[in-house]
Every structure is written in C-alpha cells, then in structure tokens.
Amino acid sequence: MSGLDRASKNRLTMWLRSEKAFGLTRLPSPVVSESMAAAFVVASAPPPPVVKPVVFSPRVASPSPVMKVEQNSPVARRENKPGPPPLLILPPSAAPFTAPLLSRDDKIARLAAMDSQEVKVCTKCRLHATRTNTVFGEGDPDAAIFFLGEGPGETEDLSGRPFVGKAGQLLDKMIVGMGLTREQVYIANIVKCRPPQNRVPGADEAATCTPYLERQLEIVRPRVIVTLGLSATAYMLKSKVPMGKLRGNWQTWRGIKLMPTFHPAFLLRQFTLENREAVWSDLKLVLSELGMPVPKRAVS
C-alpha cells in the first residue's frame, strides 16, 4: 500500500472494516497487493462528469409553415412585460393579379356584362333552383375597400342587392362610422344566390361561384378586402382558425391586403361592447392602412 495516497488508504481501510462487519475473517493473502488496491481505488472513485460536445452547424432557414406565429418582442421580454398577442399569418392563396388596371368606364362595362350575361342566367349549382334574384354586388368600381360576406339573405334575394336587411343596415352604420358612404365602397358575397334557410354555402356551391367573385376582385382591384364573418374569411384563406383569432390580423389574398372582422349579423346576435369595440378596432386598422383619417368616435 506504499504506492497509495492518504485518501486512497483511508477508503481502503474503511472497505476492509465494512467487509469484516459482514463476516470476513481473513484476507486471501497476508498483504493486499498493489494491483488490488489500485483496482479498488478505480472502482470506488466517483464517475467523471459527462461533458456534452458542442456541435456548431450553420443556420438553415426552415420552410414557411402553413401558419406562422410571431412571438413577443425581445424588448417586452427584457422589461418583463407581456407583449402584443401573437399574429396569425397565413400564406396567400394564389399569385397576385397581373392584368393591367382598367379605366373606370371599362370596369363598369365589364361588371355589368358579367352580371347580365353570366350571373343572372347561371345554373351551375343547385342554389339557382330556389333563388328569386341573383345578388351580384354593388358599389364604386374604383373602391379601395371591398366588403365581402358569405351569401345573400332573404331580403337580398327579394331585392337583388347585397346587405340591405338588418345586417346590411348595421354594415351601413359601420361604413358611415369610417367616414365613408356605401357608394364609396364595393359590397359582394362569396355566392350570388341565397342558400335555403340562410344556411352556410356548401363547399361545392362556393367553389362554383368563386370564379365570378375573383373576376369582380380583379376588375375592381381594391387595396383592402374586409371579410365579414367566419365563412367568408375561412373560404378566402382556406383556414380553419377560429374567427376570434383571425379578426384584427392582416392577411393577404392574391396580393391584396385582407382584414377579417365579425359579420354584422353576429353583432346583432351578440351586441356586446366588447364585440363592437373589436370591429371598430379592425376598421380603424383598414383606414390606417389606406392612409385615410380615422374618426374619433365612441363605440355606441
């Protein structure tokens, strides 16, 4: 044991005493060999700490996910304050329009021709069998804002005009609250015929009618689309995200900015201050995006 340091000798002595306590009466040889002592020291020594190797690899940009969530800002984290809610950003559904912009007279002529020669005589889906009138859409062909609903209701079916029932009257108030008039915007729906009992348009019905809507949007070429309600928003964005998370967050459709907000009919059913403030907040974002003045008004 002369080759062992003091600590190893002490551990070896404690081991021999413990073996004696368990019935060891003699050692296999009169002297513990150096090899035995060394083996004991190695076996009884604590294991070395595990050090994980550091691997450096170049950063590779990951492909864009279907939905991207922006986290709170670093400044907000440093100040230990909650940042703004995450923004749900969806990819554009298709490439931007590339056709040249039309003159106002050309827009009026093309919209009128599509309405009279195609939409009014359309029988491509089952909705034509129960309609009274088709509801093409109306407004300023040079409008910067395009309000889009899901489909006509009973009043719209009887009149042939979009958003003229109770929900339409509330939409008019929303537009006036923005400092605009109904004649300064464009209003239309995903489908041009009323679904029976005002049900949500079927996926096949919407798909059949969408080419009319896309041509309307290509002709008018608004700067902002305001989708009214979940059905219109979900169809335009191909999204299953709840409306409460989508509204108030900018999206893009074919190169056009898109703002989802609650449908006026929903506000009539849930006429709470919170819901009205949410819609007014969305509309203010639209005005700011367009560089228009934002009226100072209380939500009533």
Q: Is residue 22 part of a domain?
A: no
Q: Give 213's pLDDT tier (boundaries 50, 70, 90).
A: very high
SS3 56: coil
- Per the document, the length of the chain is 300
Structural domain range at position 153 = 101-290
Give the chain's domain count: 1
Give every CB contact of residue 54 below 8 A, 6+ residues apart in sequence: none
Residue that the structure tokens 């060999």 belong to: 33
What's the CA gap between 35 and 93, in Å, rounded? 76
By CB atoms closer than 10 A (0-12, 13-18, 19+), residue 231 is buried
CA distances, 229 to each of 27, 182, 222, 243 (Å): 89, 19, 19, 7
Element at 232 (helix H, strand E): helix 230-237
Q: Of 46-50, 104-108, 162-166, 174-178, where does mean pLDDT reach its minimum?
A: 46-50
Q: Is residue 72 part of a domain?
A: no
Q: Is the pLDDT of residue 28 over 70?
A: no
Q: Residue 43 has what pLDDT?
A: 44
CATH number for the domain spanning 230: value is 3.40.470.10
Q: Is the pLDDT of residue 31 over 50?
A: no
Q: Is residue 83 part of a domain?
A: no
By CB atoms closer than 10 A (0-12, 13-18, 19+), residue 165 is buried
Q: pLDDT: is 26 or 248 the higher one? A: 248
Q: Is residue 234 part of a domain?
A: yes
End-to-end Cα spacing for the chain? 94
Q: Is the pLDDT of residue 18 over 90?
A: no
Q: Is residue 91 part of a domain?
A: no
Q: Is residue 28 part of a domain?
A: no
SS3 80: coil
User: What is the residue-averaged pLDDT of the chain?
Assistant: 81
Q: Residue 94 has what pLDDT?
A: 75
Q: Is the pTM of this model over 0.85?
A: no
SS3 4: coil
Q: Residue 71 has what pLDDT?
A: 42
Q: Give 180's pLDDT tier (boundaries 50, 70, 90).
A: very high
Selection from 149, 146, 151, 110 nearest residue 134 by Cα: 151
Q: Is residue 272 part of a domain?
A: yes
By CB atoms closer than 10 A (0-12, 13-18, 19+), residue 252 is middle
Rounded mean pLDDT, 97-117: 97
Residues 150/229, Cβ–Cβ less than 8 Å:
yes
The predicted-structure confidence for 265-276, as pLDDT tens digits, reads as follows 999 999 999 999
Give every CB contact of residue 228 below 8 A, 6+ residues apart in sequence: 147, 148, 149, 150, 171, 261, 262, 263, 264
Cα angle for residues 189, 138, 92 (degrees, 5° grid):
45
Q: Is residue 60 part of a domain?
A: no
Residues 135/194, Cβ–Cβ less than 8 Å:
yes
Q: Residue 17 has what pLDDT?
A: 62
Rounded mean pLDDT, 206-235: 97
